[in-house]
Amino acid sequence: MALLLSTSFSLGAQPAAGFRAGEHFGELVREQGWPSGVRAVANLPADFDPKKPTRLVLYATPNGNTIEQTLGCATGDEVDWHFDIQHVAAQVRQLRAGRPKENIALAVVEADGLSWPAWKRRQADGPAKIRSFVDEIRGWIPGASKLTLSCHSGGGGFLFGFLDSADAVPPFVERIVFLDANYSYSDADRHGDKLLAWLKADAARKLFVVAYDDRKITLNGKLVVGPDGGTYRATERMHARFAKDAAFDEKTHGDVRVRTALDGRLSLLVHANPKNAILHTALVGEMNGLVHALDGAPFGGPRAYAKWVQPSPAIPKRPADAVGGTEFIRSIEKLNRTEREEAIAREVLRGNIPEFLRSFRKVETKIKDAAGKERVAVVEVMPDYLAIGSDADFVRMPMNPQTAARIADAFGCALPTRKIVDDVYRTATVKLAPKPLTMNREAPATFLQHHSIIEEQRSGRELGQLVAGHKKDVVVSNRLAEKPNRVAIYGWHQLDGKPIQPLTIVHVDWYVDYSHGVRLMKRSVKVDGKLQDARQVLLSPSLSPLLSDEGPVLRPSY
C-alpha cells in the first residue's frame, strides 16, 4: 500500500519534475524502480522552497519490511503491526517542523526480496549499483547538496555497500546513521578508516550509531545472535578502531551508555538491555532513534512524532451530507481543469463514492516460471470504475492520472497494468460494448451523457457485478518513461475481446475525456497463497509476469 491530513494543493505548483501531489500533509511524492529489483519512494514537504538549503534523508529498509511499512501509518483494517514500528515518515515530519528554514526531503529504498544483504550477494557489482541509486535519487531533489544516509537492520547492507563503492566517502554526505544496523562493520574492508577520514575532513559531518546489548537475547529458547554477531559486538569493534585516533567521552543515562568523540560528532549509543528484551525495532520508533540521530530529540520515548503519523489507508464512509453524482457534475461544469480535479479528489477522498464500489472482486492470473512451476496470483479490483455519488445516483468520473494515483494512495490501492485490464475483462460477468462519442469529449456534461448510456446498457443487472468493456483504463506502464508528463491508457474492449484502444501515451497527463475510467486494485496481492505488495510483484523479474505483460514495471505510479 502506498502510504504517502490532506491539504489543498495546486497541481501546477510542483517544484520538481517527476513528483506529484500526495495525500498526506500536502507532501509531494515520487516512485521509481530499477531493473535490478530496487525501488525508491521519495517525498518533499508541502512548503518546498528551491531557495532554501535542502537536505535529503535517504533511508534503507530493514530486512522483511517494505517501503510502506518503513514509512509507517496508524494501524487499521488494511494494515498490520509492521506499519507501526519505524514511522520514518513521521519522524522526518517532526524534523521538518523544527527546521523551517531548511527543506528536508526523504527517500526510502527497498531491495528485491526485502533484504539488502541478500540482494548484494546476487549482484556482481552491488556497491557500484548502490552508489548509482544514491546519485540518481539525489538528482530528483532540486538543490539537494547535503545527504544523510540512514538505515535500520539489514538496511546496513545498503550503507556498507555505499562505503565499499569508493576509496572515500563523498563530500556531499553530511551525516550517517546506523540504527541497530552495523552488523557488517569490518576493519578489513577499511570501514573505520573511511568513516574517520570523512569525519575529520569537515566539522559539519556526523556519525551516529544506535545499538543495544543483544548478546543474550533469545527467541523460542535459542540465542538470536551467534558468538561473534550482533550490533553490540559490531559497535565495540567500531569503538576499538575509532579510539585509536579519537578520544572518547562517556556518559550513562539510565540504561543508555553514550560514547562521543570529535566534539560530539561521533556518537555510539548502546542500550544496556538489562531485561534481555528484543529492542531491535523499539530503538527506531518507540525510542525516537531516527529523529534523535537527525536532530537530537530525546532518546527513549515516548514517541515524539505521534502527531505526524498519517492515517491508515482506507475508503472513508460516505458522509451523510454528500451530494449525488448528477448534482456534482453540475457543480463542476464551469470550473477550470485544475479546479475540477481538486473537486473530484475532494469528493472521492471524503468517501463520496457509491457503496457497491467498496466490494472488490477477485481476479486470478496464472503463469509458469522459468523452472516450469505454476505461480498463481489473486488480485482484487473494484467492480466498476471510480464514481461519485450514491448507489441510487452516481456518475462514473474520468480524472487525470495524478488525481487517480492520489486517491489510490489514500485507499491502499494501485492503478492496473494493461495485463490486469485484460484479465479483468476475461473475468467480468458483465461485458458491455463500447459506445464512442465525438462531441465535447472533455466536458463534464459529456461525462454524464456517457455514464447514462452505460447505465442503459447495464439495465437489469445488479450493481456490484464485475463490469468491463465500457471505458478505457488509466494504467501504469513502462512506456511512461518514453516521454515526460504523459498518461497511459488502454482498453475499451469490444464484445469479441479485442480492445479499441491499444496501449498509448499520446495524451499529456492533464488530458481527460469521457472515455477514460479509473479502476482501482488493492495493493495487497495474494501470490501462491501469500500476501505481497503489488509493487513488489510488479518489480520482481520472476513474478512480474503475473501482473504485467511488459516485464518488471519500473514506473508503477504517476
3-state secondary structure 361-389: EEEEEEEECCCCCEEEEEEEECCCCCEEE
Sequence-ordered list of residues with C-beta below 8 angstroms from that of 500, at least 6 positions apart, any chain: 434, 436, 472, 491, 492, 493, 494
- If one counts every other C-beta atom within 10 angstroms of the C-beta of residue 440, the result is 13
Q: Please list, in sequence order, all residues whose beta carbon lies within 8 angstroms of the beta carbon of residue 222, skipping any fewer than 6 positions away.
A: none
**pLDDT by position in tens, the chain (length 558):** 433 333 333 333 445 778 998 889 999 999 999 999 999 999 999 999 999 999 999 999 999 999 999 999 998 887 889 999 999 999 999 999 999 999 999 999 999 999 999 999 999 999 999 999 999 999 999 888 899 999 999 999 999 999 999 999 999 999 999 999 999 999 999 999 999 999 999 999 999 999 999 999 998 889 999 999 999 999 999 999 999 999 999 999 999 999 999 999 999 999 999 999 999 999 999 999 999 999 988 999 899 999 999 999 999 999 999 999 999 999 999 999 999 999 999 999 999 999 999 999 999 999 998 889 999 999 999 999 999 999 999 999 999 999 999 999 999 999 999 999 999 999 999 999 999 999 999 999 999 999 999 999 999 999 999 999 999 999 999 999 999 999 999 999 999 999 999 999 999 999 999 999 999 999 999 999 999 999 999 999 999 999 999 999 999 999
For cell 506499519, the residue is: 83
Short-list 439, 466, 471, CA closest to 453: 471
pLDDT at 296: 85
Q: Which region holds residue 243: left if phi is over 0, alpha if psi is between -120 and 50, else beta?
A: alpha
Q: What is the DSSP string of 186-212?
A: -TTTTHHHHHHHHHHT-TT-EEEEEEE
CA dist list (Å): 95 to 104, 271, 295: 8, 23, 7
Instruction: Identify the structural domains of the chain with CATH numbers, from first to last.
Output: 20-308 (3.40.50.1820), 325-546 (no CATH)
E strand intervals along 15-78: 20-21, 28-34, 38-44, 54-60
pTM attached to this predicted model? 0.92
- C-alpha angle with apex 336: 332 to 339, nearest 5 degrees? 70
